[in-house]
Amino acid sequence: MHLLDLYAPSLHGRRDHAALEVADAHGALQRLTFGDLDARSDALAAGLRHRGLDRGDRLAVCLPNRLEVIDLWLAAMKLGLIVVPINVLYRGHEIGHIVGDAGPRAVVTTADRASDFGSTDVWDVEELAHAAARPTAAGVRPALGAESPAALMYTSGTTGAAKGAVLTHGNFVANARALLAAWEITAADRYLAALPLFHVHGLGNGLQCWLASGCHMRLVDRFDHTQAQGWFTAYRPTLFFGVPTMYVRLLETDAASARAIGAAARLFVSGSAPLPPAVLEAFHARFGHVILERYGMTETLMNVSNPLHGERRPGTVGLPLPGVEVEIRSASDGDATAVADGVAGELYVRGANVCAGYWQRPDATAAAFRDGWFRTGDLGVRAPDGYITLQGRRSDLIISGGFNIYPREIEELLAALPGVREAAVMGVPDATRGEVPVAYVVSDDRRDEGTFAAALDTALRARIASFKVPRAFVRVPQLPRTALGKVQKHLLPPWRP
């Protein structure tokens, strides 16, 4: 089964039903039916084919949430293209790596971003939007199967350089079906989509659950905590997916509005980073809902979820989703054998949700799988009744507001800057974002600390996404190291804002 089969009951079966509400460039709400979306993507598919795109070609998309992202996704699926979503916050360093690796035929973006893409063909989204608005008959469809790649999603896994996880039609179908069944999502739902569509949480869960269930969606360009209360109050969603930072922000909602929002809602889901039990409790008190926490990964889509009915246990991610097997194995690098309940280990996952490997990286793919199981790099423990608790990762990944930061990427960039001899980057706790990065720098620069830090900040902002730029640059005489030369980050002096 491929994605067009999954969407058919909505795109064809619910042609005349309201599907989507999204603001246009002037802020006016556009309302579309599933039939409108089907027709727009037929027209855009014809336009893309006219530009020479064919099955298996990669098409990069670097856009904030807007109607054209949906048109592009559907048109790409109709042509058998492979979508390469790029985080809009990424800058030259990250973008150069992704387009160099994925080799897209073109990137679709806004005119102001055109210069960020080097020699790659850049297509202005506004021009393509005209193609989507012109009625065209559906073209010839390539024969697709569950194994056909649908997207390359770039993620760093355990190393610094991002790799493209090859997510197939079958992966997205399996994930959407598991979530529809587990969370009882139906055409009667109203989904408020505030997660970015360039990562798995918004794309793999949000967009696919909407298209598979035929429910209604209100899409906003990005989560803005100053507007969130207004969206909830006006749209009255039954369903919301968010990262913990969004739930922390929603706690600012006044008590009466929170009660009204809670009364209209059916389900709030959290993932991408740990949800602090105190946030779960405060949200329950204010909105009258126990947030349902689940666990996934770019390479595997969703693996484990607290139940819709039954206990949503704070601090845990719940039980394996339908069709997903989870094994906890000893975290040593030798023979990784399954451990007993109550014993900590590394999570291994198997199921139709697991990606086909990494784009053109046979070595990385081989290292990620062991006898058919995907090695997540996440550490955790299973209780005798099956509930899984995550306990961190093998590698030192920082998750800030649900966005991933690999210390090594920033350490390498810092070490290449003038005045920096070496650097170590660490995550420190932050009440809103969960964690934020802080850099420790060994330097022979003579400037005062403030001037030097400002220079490093400016240099990094030009190269990488703002959420990766360290909150502070602490000068240290040397980095603490083991006898083997490995930096011992836990021995660095604590940083306080």
The residue ranges that bind ligand MCA (CB under 6 A) are 64, 88-89, 195-196, 199-202, 222-223, 225, 243, 245-246, 249, 271-272, 296-298, 401-403, 432-433, 466-467
Tokens of 463: 């190269």
Given ligand AMP, ligand MCA, none, residue 155, with its beta carbon under 5 to 8 Å by kind, binds: ligand AMP
Q: Does 245 bind ligand AMP (CB under 6 A)?
A: no
Which of 296, 320, 345, 470 forms a contact with ligand AMP (CB under 6 A)?
A: 296
Q: How many residues does the chain have?
A: 497
φ/ψ region of 106 (left if φ > 0, alpha if ψ in -120 to 50, else beta) reads beta
| Spatial contact of 78 and 4, defined as CB atoms under 8 Å apart | yes
* Smallest distance from ligand AMP to CB 240, Å: 15
Given ligand MCA, ligand AMP, none, residue 195, with its beta carbon under 5 to 8 Å by kind, binds: ligand MCA
Which of 106, 217, 317, 456 forms a contact with ligand AMP (CB under 6 A)?
A: 317
Given ligand AMP, ligand MCA, none, residue 433, with its beta carbon under 5 to 8 Å by kind, binds: ligand MCA
- Give the separation between CA 280 and CA 292, rounded to whole angstroms: 9
Q: Does 273 bind ligand AMP (CB under 6 A)?
A: yes
Site for ligand AMP in 179-208 (CB under 6 A): 200
**Is the Cβ of residue 271 or residue 407 nearer to ligand AMP in the bound state?**
271
List all residues 6 or more positions away from 285 whose beta carbon is below 8 Å from its beta carbon.
none
Which of 47, 214, 274, 345 forms a contact with ligand AMP (CB under 6 A)?
A: 274
* Smallest distance from ligand AMP to CB 49, Å: 32
| Spatial contact of 318 and 311, defined as CB atoms under 8 Å apart | no
Given ligand MCA, ligand AMP, none, residue 274, with its beta carbon under 5 to 8 Å by kind, binds: ligand AMP
Tokens of 357: 């490997």
- Give the separation between CA 108 and CA 122, rounded to whole angstroms: 6
Q: Does 10 bind ligand AMP (CB under 6 A)?
A: no
Which of 173, 280, 297, 425 forms a contact with ligand AMP (CB under 6 A)?
A: 297
Q: Does 390 bind ligand AMP (CB under 6 A)?
A: yes
- 73, with CB counted inside 10 A (0-12, 13-18, 19+), is buried
Q: Does 292 bind ligand AMP (CB under 6 A)?
A: no
* Smallest distance from ligand AMP to CB 244, Å: 8
- 50, with CB counted inside 10 A (0-12, 13-18, 19+), is exposed
Given ligand AMP, ligand MCA, none, residue 201, with its beta carbon under 5 to 8 Å by kind, binds: ligand MCA
Q: Does 295 bind ligand AMP (CB under 6 A)?
A: yes
Q: By C-alpha distance, which of 441, 418, 434 is closest to 467?
A: 434
Given ligand MCA, ligand AMP, none, residue 189, with its beta carbon under 5 to 8 Å by kind, binds: none
Which of 404, 411, 439, 473 forms a contact with ligand AMP (CB under 6 A)?
A: 404
Q: Which stretches of the chain bind ligand AMP, using CB under 6 A? A: 155, 200, 271-274, 293, 295-298, 317, 376, 378, 390, 393, 404
